[in-house]
């Protein structure tokens, strides 16, 4: 808690009740004494989601009640997220929690424990209630404290402030006799609280199978040839018309068009290089960008070379609009039969909507007389519409296993849209609370709007828009401390495992494999972008898995709670004769038991007096179930 004297550690009692039965549907209720900030409610929802993911339990069959009591006047901050998740898992599994262990840490959507502030103050608070072990986020083992020193130099008072490093583990042991342990994720923290851990699956399967390669290779080669021909046409046209293109202040149009021609060539070379490395989706992506740039150069060269530019633009708009409309109708009317066509139709519809958006933006630029930008967006809309056909044709190259029920698709699309909305809201609130921001959230709102607009008529397209929004919203929070190598490795492995699990059910996750492959090519350029595409691949494979097979409860392994590492022996005790050491130890143990016993009894009495059992499930919740 923040006071007028600075940060002060405060302990809270969190009671989690899980109810299963008629009327339960994954609802999360939070009741606090005293008030709570909105991020506490978001932490509770995220705790439930992470608990469901880690245990494999379908949380939609349960309702969750969080009752939080603390001496702080207002409960806030995300640092209770980790303990709420642990308590939720323990409630679902029926495990006992070690009441000598305490934890602070934000919960990330992938189960990682994120950074928090005020760790030294929280250790002191943990000591005040008898904790012997304190868990805190990995990477925060050293913190800095500002120390003020006053020096008298020749009668002149000099005040100097400097930052002094504090080793958290040493600080906790030396000052309070508490073992402070860094933990990376919830699974690791569970071991210290319950003695249980969940098996982490590792995929050794090849991601790009021969079936995938056989389907993607011809498309990649076709697009390279198409891009090569388009570039040659654009280059010839530009060379023949560049003298007609203005290139003086303030309109250096010729230079801009020439730059786009160079970009087309660069993208074409990348497409060829990826093809040689058998990264076929990455090759198609680079070829697609080359096609856009070459088409723009052709449009721009023709525009400046014609006598009636207004008429040229009108005809071009009509041509592109007709093509976009025709391709959009094909995508919207496409039939979804199985899991393969679901992915291909969803991808085709998403690209059709992209093309329509670019066409609208081109019309707006035209109204503003920004003709060069209008021409680029027309080129993008045309090439994006061409890609609709690629995806619709691709479904025929894979076996379309797993019948897709419309009601199931509709339910899953709504479920992931709700998750995306919650994730976007939660990440925005927590980042604001932390004084941070993330560029990953910038386009999430538009994706959610698109998903909401499309969900009734085009649930496949809506589903993939929601999955992309969910991936980015979650990562906005997870990457607040930077895109590090361990996060990249973990995200890559999670995506590979999700793809492997989908294949075990007879599903070929084409889209997931495509984005996984694309992420591989981004690792040396942008770690953040690579993580985004790995997570998107994981989300897609997971959604397909969910549609075919409901969640299955995962098996845990009991190892026992690790013993607390004892502090160094007191020199006085070490100097005693062997026989007297036993007497000293017995006497000390008796005193400790009396003190701890008295403290526990007093705390239990006080807790039951201030927080009787009838408060553990809020009265409003009892009334809710009586009415429902």
State residue 77's pLDDT score.
Answer: 54
Q: Are 270 and 518 in contact (CB under 8 A)?
A: no
CB 561 within 8 A of CB 86: no
For residue 7, pLDDT over 60 is answered with: no
Whole-number pLDDT of residue 173: 95
Give me the DSSP letters along 331-393: HHHPPP-SHHHHHHHHHHHHHHHHHHHHHHHHHHHHHTT-HHHHHHHHHHHHHHHHHHHHHHH
Which residue's entry shows tokens 């400046």?
A: 304
Indicate whether 237 pLDDT > 70: yes
Query: Which of 58-62, 293-297, 311-315, 400-404 has the least mean pLDDT?
Result: 400-404
Q: What is the pLDDT of residue 596?
A: 36
Q: Phi and psi for 77 in degrees, rounded to 5?
A: 85, 155
**Residue 143 backbone phi and psi in degrees, to 5:** -125, 165
Q: Which helix (H) or strand (E) holds 156?
A: strand 156-167
- At residue 8, the pLDDT reads 57
pLDDT classification of 60: cutoffs 50, 70, 90? confident
pLDDT band at residue 598 using 50, 70 and 90 as cut-offs: very low
Q: What is the mean pLDDT of residues 499-507?
A: 88
CA-based R_g, the chain, Å: 30
Q: Give yes or no for a contact between 430 and 477, defined as CB atoms under 8 angstroms apart.
A: yes
What is the pLDDT at residue 406?
Answer: 86
Which DSSP letter does residue 567 get?
P
Confidence band for 240, pLDDT divided at 50, 70 and 90: very high
**Residue 567 confidence (pLDDT):** 55
Residue 491, CA distances (Å) to 198, 205, 299, 618 in order: 18, 16, 41, 39
Residue-wise pLDDT for 505-548, tens only, equals 888 899 999 999 999 999 988 999 999 999 999 999 988 988 88
Residue 164: pLDDT over 90: no
pLDDT at 513: 95
CB 78 within 8 A of CB 430: yes
- Concatenated DSSP letters for 464-501? HHHHHHHHHHHHHHHTTT---HHHHHHHHHHHHHHHHH
Q: Hey, where are the domains in the chain?
A: 2-198, 210-397, 406-548, 571-627
Q: Does the bond joining 18 to the residue before it have cis omega, within 30 degrees of 0? A: no
**343-357: average pLDDT:** 95
* pLDDT score of 80: 82
What CA–CA distance (Å, rounded) separates 623 from 618? Answer: 9
Quick one: what percent of the chain has pLDDT higher than 90?
A: 54
pLDDT band at residue 609 using 50, 70 and 90 as cut-offs: very low
Tokens 């990649």 belong to which residue? 220
Strands 28-36 and 62-75: parallel
Nearest to 13 by CA among 69, 80, 84: 69
Please name which of 324, 322, 345, 344 lies closest in space to residue 334, comparing C-alpha atoms. Answer: 345
Query: Residue 132 carries which DSSP code?
Result: S
pLDDT above 70 as % of the chain:
85
* Residue-level pLDDT at 627: 47
pLDDT score for 592: 35
Distance CA 318, CA 48 (A): 52
pLDDT higher than 90, residue 362 = yes
Task: Give the pLDDT confidence score for residue 86 in this predicted structure.
Answer: 95
Please write the tens of the pLDDT for every residue from 415-474. 889 889 988 887 887 787 667 889 999 999 999 999 999 999 999 999 999 999 999 998
168-176 helix and 119-128 helix, angle to the nearest 10 degrees: 30
- Reported as a pLDDT band with limits 50, 70 and 90, residue 625 is very low
Instruction: Assign 505 to helix, strand or coil.
Output: coil
Q: Given this model, what pLDDT does residue 422 score?
A: 81
Q: Residue 18's pLDDT is what? A: 94
586 pLDDT above the threshold of 60: no
Q: Are 168 and 115 in contact (CB under 8 A)?
A: no
- Tell me: domain 2-198, CATH 3.30.230.10, correct? yes
What pLDDT does residue 594 have? 35
Is 580's pLDDT higher than 50?
no
Residue 569: pLDDT over 60 = no
Average pLDDT value for residue range 11-22:
87
Q: How far is CA 182 from CA 133, 137, 185, 489, 556, in A?
A: 11, 5, 10, 20, 22
Mean pLDDT of all residues in the chain?
Answer: 84
C-beta pairs of 281-284 under 8 Å, 24+ apart in sequence: 281/216, 281/220, 281/513, 281/514, 281/515, 281/517, 281/518, 282/517, 282/518, 282/520, 282/521, 283/220, 283/223, 283/224, 284/216, 284/219, 284/220, 284/223, 284/390
The answer to pTM > 0.85 is no
Q: pLDDT, tens digit, for every residue of 174-219?
A: 999 999 999 989 999 999 999 999 987 776 778 888 888 888 999 9
The SS3 call for residue 417 is: helix
């Amino acid at each position: 808690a923040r006071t007028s004297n600075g940060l002060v550690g405060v302990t809270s009692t969190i009671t989690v009740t899980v109810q299963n039965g008629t009327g339960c549907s994954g609802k999360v209720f939070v009741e606090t004494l005293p008030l709570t900030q909105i991020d506490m409610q978001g932490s509770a929802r995220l705790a439930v989601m992470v608990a469901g993911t880690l245990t494999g339990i379908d949380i939609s069959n349960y309702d969750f009640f969080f009752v939080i009591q603390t001496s702080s006047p207002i409960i806030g901050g995300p640092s209770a997220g980790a303990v709420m998740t642990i308590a939720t898992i323990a409630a679902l599994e029926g495990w006992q929690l070690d009441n000598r262990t305490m934890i602070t840490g934000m919960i990330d959507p992938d189960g990682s424990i994120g950074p928090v502030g005020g760790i030294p103050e929280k250790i002191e608070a943990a000591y005040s209630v008898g904790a012997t072990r304190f868990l805190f986020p990995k990477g925060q083992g050293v913190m800095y404290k500002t120390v003020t020193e006053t020096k008298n130099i020749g009668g002149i008072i000099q005040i100097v402030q400097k930052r002094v490093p504090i080793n958290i583990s040493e600080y906790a042991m030396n000052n309070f006799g508490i073992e402070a342990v860094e933990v990376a994720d919830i699974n690791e923290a569970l071991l210290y609280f319950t003695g249980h851990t969940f098996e982490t699956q590792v995929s050794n399967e090849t991601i790009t199978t021969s079936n995938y390669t056989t389907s993607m290779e011809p498309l990649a080669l076709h697009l390279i040839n198409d891009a090569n021909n388009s570039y040659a046409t654009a280059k010839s046209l530009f060379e023949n018309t560049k003298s007609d293109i203005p290139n003086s202040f303030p309109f250096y149009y010729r230079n801009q068009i020439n730059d786009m021609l160079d970009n087309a060539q660069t993208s074409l070379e990348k497409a060829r290089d990826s093809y040689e490395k058998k990264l076929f989706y990455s090759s198609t992506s680079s070829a697609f960008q080359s096609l856009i740039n070459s088409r723009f150069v052709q449009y721009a060269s023709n525009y400046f070379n014609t006598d009636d530019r207004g008429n040229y633009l009108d005809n071009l708009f009509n041509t592109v609009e007709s093509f976009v409309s025709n391709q959009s109708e094909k995508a919207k009317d496409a039939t979804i039969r199985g899991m393969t066509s679901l992915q291909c139709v969803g991808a085709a519809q998403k690209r059709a909507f992209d093309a329509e958006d670019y066409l609208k933006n081109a019309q707006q630029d035209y109204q503003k007389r920004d003709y060069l930008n209008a021409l680029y967006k027309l080129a993008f809309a045309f090439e994006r519409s061409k890609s609709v056909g690629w995806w619709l044709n691709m479904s025929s190259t894979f076996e379309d296993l797993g019948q897709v029920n419309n009601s199931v698709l509709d339910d899953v699309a709504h479920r992931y849209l709700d998750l995306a909305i919650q994730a976007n809201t939660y990440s925005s609130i927590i980042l604001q609370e932390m004084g941070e921001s993330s560029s990953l959230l910038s386009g999430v709102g538009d994706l959610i709007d698109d998903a909401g607009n499309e969900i009734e008529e085009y649930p496949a397209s809506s589903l993939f828009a929601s999955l992309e929004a969910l991936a980015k919203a979650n990562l906005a929070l997870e990457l607040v401390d930077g895109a590090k190598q361990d996060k990249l490795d973990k995200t890559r492995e999670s995506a590979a495992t999700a793809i492997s699990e989908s294949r075990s059910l007879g599903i070929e996750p084409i889209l997931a494999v495509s984005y996984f492959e694309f992420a591989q090519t981004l690792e040396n350029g942008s770690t953040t972008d690579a993580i985004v595409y790995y997570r998107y691949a994981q989300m897609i494979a997971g959604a397909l898995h969910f549609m075919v097979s409901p969640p299955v409860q995962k098996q845990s392994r009991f190892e026992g709670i690790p013993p607390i590492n004892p502090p160094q022996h007191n020199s006085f005790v070490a100097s005693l004769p062997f026989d007297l050491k036993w007497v000293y130890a017995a006497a000390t143990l008796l005193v400790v038991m009396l003190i701890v016993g008295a403290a526990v009894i007093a705390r239990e009495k006080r807790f039951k007096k201030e927080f009787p059992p009838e408060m553990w499930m809020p009265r409003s919740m009892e009334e809710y179930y009586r009415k429902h």
